[in-house]
Amino acid sequence: MASRSTKRERVPAPPPPLHELESEVMEALWASGEASVRSVMDTLNARAEKERAYTTYMTIMARLHKKGLLRRRREGKTDYYAPAYERDEYMALRAKAEVEGLVSQYGDVALSHFAEQMAKLDPARRRALQRLARKS
């Protein structure tokens, strides 16, 4: 009896969740589109209670690049970073992963809570969300 190999289509892993400083950096880059480490540092330090060092931002941005959340290009000695995902795309992928994780872990209990939340919405919003779910 010959063994049959089945090819499974590889589904890309969702992007990882963001920690607090990673989230601040990503928000700055979603707003600017592309920026150097120094530019991100200047932007975020301008509104921070306590300034962070250049090396802190450099490390965070290098880690975000390694995680696949940022694209990097070099110009001379300067690295420029840009988001690998649009903000809405990232949020949608993370939300999907979180919901799938909850359903996987809690099953019908999680689904019943989602249904309860849906029932509390006004009818127009519920219909809009149902249309959105059919598109995905």
Q: What is the pLDDT along the chain (136 residues), one digit of tens a residue?
A: 554 555 566 667 889 999 999 999 999 999 999 999 999 999 999 999 999 999 999 999 999 999 999 999 999 999 999 999 999 999 999 999 988 888 888 888 888 888 888 889 899 998 898 888 888 6
Buried b vs exposed e over 84-120: b needs ≥16 C-beta within 10 Å? bbeeeebeeebeeeeeeeeeeeeeeeeeeeeeeeeee
Main-chain dihedrals φ then ψ at residue 86, nearest 5 degrees: -65, 155
Tokens 């989230």, located at residue: 23
22 Rama class: left (phi>0) / alpha (psi -120 to 50) / beta: alpha
Q: Model's pTM, two decimal places?
A: 0.78
The span from the CA of 12 to the CA of 96, in Å, is 13
Tokens 């390694």, located at residue: 66
- Note the maximum CA span of the chain: 70
Instruction: Mention every residue, 6+ apart, whose C-beta is less than 8 A from residue 54.
Output: 37, 38, 41
Q: Beta-strand (E) ranges in the chain?
A: 35-36, 70-75, 78-83
